[in-house]
Amino acid sequence: MSILSLLLLFIILSLQWKPLTSRTWIKAGYWYTGSEYPIPNINTALFTHLICAFAYINSSTHDLVLLTSDEPYVSMFASTVKNSNPSVKPLLSIRPRNEYHGNDENSSNFFIMAENPAYRKSFVESSIKMARHYGFEGIDLYATTLLSHYLPELDSVSYPVDSVRKKIDWVHVRSYDYHTPMTIDNFTAAHAALYDPSSPVNTDYGINLWIKRGLPASQLVLGLAYHGYAWTLADPKNDGIGAPAKGMVITKDGSMSYEYIKKYLRSYRVNSEYNSTYVMNYCAIGSFGIVFDDVEAIRNKVAYGKKKGLLGYSVWQVPNDDNWKLSIAAGKNLPQ
C-alpha cells in the first residue's frame, strides 16, 4: 500500500530532528488525557518513554489539533515528565479523529490526508511544529482501526512491512482488546491472550506473523493492558475463562482498570486465578466474571517478550495501575 508507505516516510522524516536512537529495552507507557490522572504522579522511574495521548488530525485542514480541554495537559506533559526524570523520552501520540462521533477514530480521514500531497504536507509540518513546541522528542502514530491492531495484515490489506522496517523506529503491537463484552457477550474471553490453542486471535500468533512478514523482532514492542473486562456469569459456579455469560457488567462497556479490579477483589476478599494456557488471570465475584492481567500474567508476558528478542513493552495505560504493582513487576523482569 503506497499511501501508507509514503505516510510512514513522512512520519520518520518528522522524527529526524531528534532521532530515537535508543535501542535499550523499551518500557513505554501511555497517559491519556481522559484518565484525568495528574501527570506529576506518574512514577517516571519505571519508564523509558512516556506517551501523551492524543493530538488529533483535523479532517478539514489536516493539521494537528488538540481538543481545547486537553491543551493545558498536553502543553505541560513533556516538561513535567522531564523535570521528574530527564532520561525519559516524552512522545506525542497522534490519532485520526471522527468529528461526528466525539473522539472515536475515523480511518477514512487518515487515508484522505495520506493520499493528498498537500494535506500530507500540512499534517507533517503541523505535527513537527506542535511536537517541538511542547517539548516532545518523537511522534507516535496511533491508528488502531486502520487495519487490524495486532496483525501486519487483514484479509487482502497489509502494512508495507518493508517500509515500516526501514523508516519507523518500532511498532507498538496492540496485543489486547481481542474480545471484549461489546464483541462477545455470551462467554467470558481472554481479551489479551498470549496464547490460545484453539484460535489465531492471540499475541504470539500476531508477533510471529509480523516477524514472518519481515519485521525484525527487535522492532516490535509488546502491548500490555492495565485493564480487564467484566461479564455477568450465566452460572456463578462456572467461572473460568470461556464460561457462559450474559453480557457486560459493572461499567458501561465492561472495562475496568486494574486498580478498580483489585479494589473489588480486596473488598470481597477474593483472589484471582492464573491461567497459564492464555497467560491471563480471572476471578469470579458473585455473578461477575472478570478477565484481566495480574502481576503473574504481566511478568510472564514480559519474559516472553525478552525471550522472543522484542524491543520492549508499552502499557495502555499508566494511570490504571494499582500503586505501580504491574509496572514494577514488568520492569523487574530484566535478565539484561
Ligand X SMILES: *[C@@H]1O[C@H](CO)[C@@H](O)[C@H](O)[C@H]1NC(C)=O
Q: 316: which residues sit within 8 A by CB, 6+ positions away?
A: 30, 174, 176, 223, 224, 225, 226, 227
Rule CB under 6 A: choose which of 108, 183, 199, 323 binds ligand X: 108
Residue 58 within binding range of ligand X, rule CB under 6 A: yes
Near ligand X in 271-330, by CB under 6 A: 275-277
Task: Convert residues 181-220 into a mask of x (bound to ligand X by CB under 6 A) and - (unbound).
Answer: -----xx---------------------------------
Cα distance between residue 294 and residue 272, in whole Å: 8
- Residue number, 111 or 205, with CB nearest to ligand X: 111
Give min distance, CB of 277 to ligand X, in A: 4
Q: CB atoms < 10 A from the CB of 273, how many?
A: 14
- State how far Cα 295 lies from the chain centre: 18
Nearest by Cα to 319 from 267, 258, 275, 266: 258
Cα distance between residue 204 and residue 304, in whole Å: 9
Q: Is 228 helix (H, G, I), strand (E, B) or coil?
A: strand
Near ligand X in 226-265, by CB under 6 A: 240-242, 244
Residue 98 within binding range of ligand X, rule CB under 6 A: yes
Q: CB atoms < 10 A from the CB of 199, how many?
A: 13
Closest residue by beta carbon to ligand X: 240
Give min distance, CB of 91 to ligand X, in A: 22
**DSSP assigned state of 272:** P
Stretch that binds ligand X, among 14-22, 46-54, 56-64, 128-136 (CB under 6 A): 56-64
Dihedral angle, C-alpha 313, 162, 140, 86, nearest 10 °? 60
Give min distance, CB of 322 to ligand X, in A: 24
Residue 16 within binding range of ligand X, rule CB under 6 A: no
- Residue number, 193 or 215, with CB nearest to ligand X: 193
Amino acid making up residue 35: S
Q: Give contact residues for ligand X (rule: CB under 6 A).
A: 58-61, 65, 98, 100-101, 106, 108-109, 186-187, 240-242, 244, 275-277
